Chains A and B, each alone.
Chain A
């Protein structure tokens, strides 16, 4: 187990190192000078040069890469070119919106998907199953920003139950904060719930055909008892994998939803930073997201190995 963990940890480190190189290279290669973007069309050459020196843009790319990476190792993500505040501070502020939003959406999607998937599996081929499958088909096909626009139209403009967007701030209280995240969370959760419900259903159906399920029925359990006691536990493994993946997606992938609801989250930060050529912010946020995804995968790998000893010998 220790050897396995070390191997995984080494591969994690290598992945991160490669990711940092790729991120830096891709973002730096794209044309556009941050200083001329900030100073606009009437800027004079000496002004531009002064600003470039101030931002450290006059150093070579290699020097900048090294100082960026070594800074991150010390927890220093550098200073934003445009906002002129420490990037780590900006990321921390935005995480207070993006992280609760991702968790909220994940909770909603799980709360919707698991019962729906179980219900559909238990009623395989019956009208209830067909209805759930039809709905999830729609949920998978329709993009989340369209859901977002419909939700705003109905609940913000017509019914006035929610604001059309914006974030109240946690200083206004938990309820106010959650209230302002509700529509975005639903919009994010619905397509995810649709995927998850389908996975739940098919995982459960696979299990229902297994020998041990037949044995359980033979022992005298009803179909429902067998499903709850033996089927569900085994079917949860693929479902948990999907939930893990979905969390990474929700954290990194809410850029459009944050635009539609003008939430001050990570996605919006990346969006603004890209158009302003605020390279250091883009690089650091992307790096952080890569780090989060790789770490989650690493933990999932370890968890698998703990659950299933066969995996340890295989690697």
Chain B
């Protein structure tokens, strides 16, 4: 009897040990919440970032890809050679890569994908990425040659975008609802309005990811986001919409909070063609009237990095030019007087829905009023903003976060909605595009940052922070958001 009890005790111990160990290795799925649901799952025919947040480098891969630190590394292309004059890129593709439907991924698919994106009737939202491509030629099944009309120092960067991923020709019909890619995860199911499930691709050409399954949940309401995380219904919330609640998560040992940077330069966009904004003195006056830190504290609960130009502070080529537009209301008033507007003027301030704009706008309007500029606040939905402000250019001021990576080039487009027309800057951008030497590029990019900062084209406010909340055991999450992505392969649970 005694022996029996002892044995029972021992086997009980063994059992509980097995249970504990089991719990440690059993956790190989994850539930990730985000605010917006993708409209569909084709990253090559829509601008919605929510699509990339689900599919980029999980389901679909491109020739190159972004890493969490913003660097560009080879993906489906194993290596490449660039011709002397910088116009011919010869990509060597990885061997043995298959799409999720089992068919082989080869040079023909690359040609198809790039030609589809740049075609006349293409629905690609970033068609400009492919504008410089003259021809795409298949050399052999694993080699593809891309010829550019002129050298483009950004070409490998452009190919890393979610809009440039390689798709299977036979899957185009159903790509929006049943995407087929080459990535480490396959599409599982989509319950619209609720969740998308991805499963590990056991036939993946690269390393097998740690997680077997990932579920994306879509929770748009900030209060609901807080509750879902607190009740531990979800494991991770990327792009957490309630910054006011972050200290509570930071204080709770069950959770971790990740504060990083996005590519979103949040700016007070100014209609440079509209009087009185066509006068640089007026724009300069506004720049000095704005107290950035008050906006970051008041509208973003302290999350955000002040910027003095249109460039991401985490980029090595960034120059801190916030000094050009330091908060100085007296100087602002003096500048307005110099511009012939000692009593200020009236204008409009269009605010799209995000809180950086709505909350930030109230503060900016108050700060501008201090120096005599009366900005009438007009709240608009995104569709309306696109129509009146972006397309119609019928606005004085607006607040918007420009989230495309490396988008300083928009200042070289005089027809772009803030209508900055500076031939010297345009020439600089042309030179930059055709320059491939990294040091030379850095120098040119810094020069560009200085020009727009000193021209006070727009009011440069802050870099939008990337805020995520996760359970304490989750590791490998991207803190920064160099592009919209949730890199599942990098994520695992700690022991």
Give the B-binding residues of A (Cβ under 8 A): 30-34, 36-44, 46-47, 50-51, 54, 82-85, 90, 93-94, 149, 152-153, 156-157, 160, 163-167, 169, 259-265, 268-269, 272, 275-277
Q: What separation, in Å, do the CA atoms of A201 and B120 have in the docked complex? A: 70
Chain B: CB-nearest residue to A46: B120
A47 to B386 Cα, complex, angstroms: 16
CA distance A156 to B227 in the complex (A): 8
- Which of B125, B217, B223, B384 interacts with A260 by CB under 8 Å? B223
Residues of B within 8 A of A276 (CB): 39, 383
Minimum C-beta distance from B245 to chain A (A): 12
Contact B383 A39 (CB under 8 A): no
Q: How far is the CB of A268 from the nearest CB of chain B, in Å?
A: 5
Q: How distant is A62 from chain B, measured CB to nearest CB, in Å?
A: 21
Residue contact B224 to A165, C-beta cutoff 8 Å: yes
Contact of A40 with B125 in the complex, beta carbons under 8 Å: yes
User: Which residue on chain A has the smallest CB distance to residue B121?
Assistant: A50
Cβ distance A93 to chain B, nearest Cβ, rounded Å: 6
Q: Is B83 an interface residue (CB 8 A)?
A: no
Which residues of chain B from 33 to 76 have any CB-CB distance to chain A below 8 Å in the complex?
37, 39-40, 46-48
A83 touches B40 (CB 8 A): yes
**Measured between alpha carbons, how far is A30 from B385 in the docked complex, in Å?**
12
* Selected A-B contacts with CB under 8 Å, 7 pairs: A38-B39, A43-B127, A152-B227, A152-B231, A156-B227, A259-B221, A260-B221
Expressed in whole angstroms, the minimum distance between the Cβ of A234 and any Cβ of chain B is: 44
Report A-chain residues with C-beta under 8 Å of the C-beta of B391.
33, 36
Interchain residue pairs A-B with the least CB separation, the first 3: A40-B47, A32-B383, A264-B193
Query: Nearest-CB distance from B456 to chain A (Å)?
Result: 22
A263 CA to B195 CA in the complex, in Å? 10
Minimum C-beta distance from A213 to chain B (A) = 49
Return A171 CB to nearest CB of chain B, in Å.
Answer: 10
Say yes or no: is B176 at the interface (Cβ < 8 Å to chain A): yes
| Contact residues in B for A272 (Cβ distance below 8 Å) | 37, 193
State the Cβ distance, B123 to closest chain A Cβ, in Å: 5
On whether A164 and B224 interact (CB within 8 A), knowing A32-B383, A36-B386, A42-B128, the answer reads: yes
CB distance from B174 to the nearest CB of A (A): 10
Rounded to whole angstroms, the CA-CA distance of A15 and B176 in the bound complex is 38
Interface size class of B (residues with CB under 8 A): 35 or more
On whether the beta carbons of A42 and B125 are closer than 8 Å, the reply is: yes
Least CB distance from A128 to B in Å reads: 35
Q: With an 8 A cutoff between CB atoms, is B218 at the interface?
A: yes
Contact between B123 and A50, CB atoms less than 8 A apart: yes
Given contact pairs A31-B384, A31-B387, A36-B387, enumerate 5 new A-B contacts (beta carbons under 8 Å): A31-B388, A41-B386, A259-B221, A276-B39, A277-B383
| A261 with B37, Cβ < 8 A, contacts A33-B387, A38-B48 known | no
For residue A16, give the distance in angstroms from its CB to the closest CB of chain B: 27
CB pair B382–A37 under 8 Å, yes or no, is: yes
Interface contact A32-B230, CB-CB below 8 Å: no
Q: Does B7 contact A (CB under 8 A)?
A: no
A41 to B230, alpha carbons, bound, how many Å? 36
A33:B128 contact, CB within 8 angstroms: no
Given A42-B125, A272-B37, verify A37-B231 contact (CB < 8 Å).
Answer: no
Instruction: For A278, give the chain B residue with the smallest CB separation.
Output: B39
**Which A residues are CB-close (under 8 A) to B382?**
32, 37, 275
For the complex, give the distance between the alpha carbons of A166 and B224 in Å. Answer: 10
Q: Give Cα A275 to B128, complex, Å.
A: 26
Is A39 in contact with B194, judged by CB distance below 8 angstroms? Answer: no
Contact call A164/B227, Cβ cutoff below 8 A: yes
B120 closest partner in A (C-beta):
A46
User: Within the complex, which residue of A44, A84, A164 is in contact with B177, where a contact is CB–CB below 8 Å?
Assistant: A84
Which residue of the partner chain, among B127, B128, B231, B387, contacts A32 with CB atoms under 8 Å? Answer: B387
Q: Is the CB of B219 within 8 A of A51?
A: no
| Complex Cα spacing A34 to B177, Å | 19
Q: In whole angstroms, what is the CA distance A174 to B382 when docked? A: 39
Q: Once bound together, how far apart are the Cα atoms of A41 and B409, in whole Å?
A: 14
Q: How far is the CA of A260 from the CA of B225 in the complex (A)?
A: 9
Cβ A160 vs Cβ B193 within 8 A: no
Q: Is the CB of B231 within 8 A of A33?
A: no
Give A145 to B126 CA distance when docked, in angstroms.
40
Chain A residues within an 8 Å CB radius of B430? none
Minimum C-beta distance from B237 to chain A (A): 12
Chain A residues within 8 Å of B383, by CB:
31-34, 36-37, 275-277
Tell me the smallest distance from the CB of B402 to a CB of chain A, in Å.
8
Q: At the interface, yes or no: B390 with Cβ under 8 Å from chain A?
A: yes
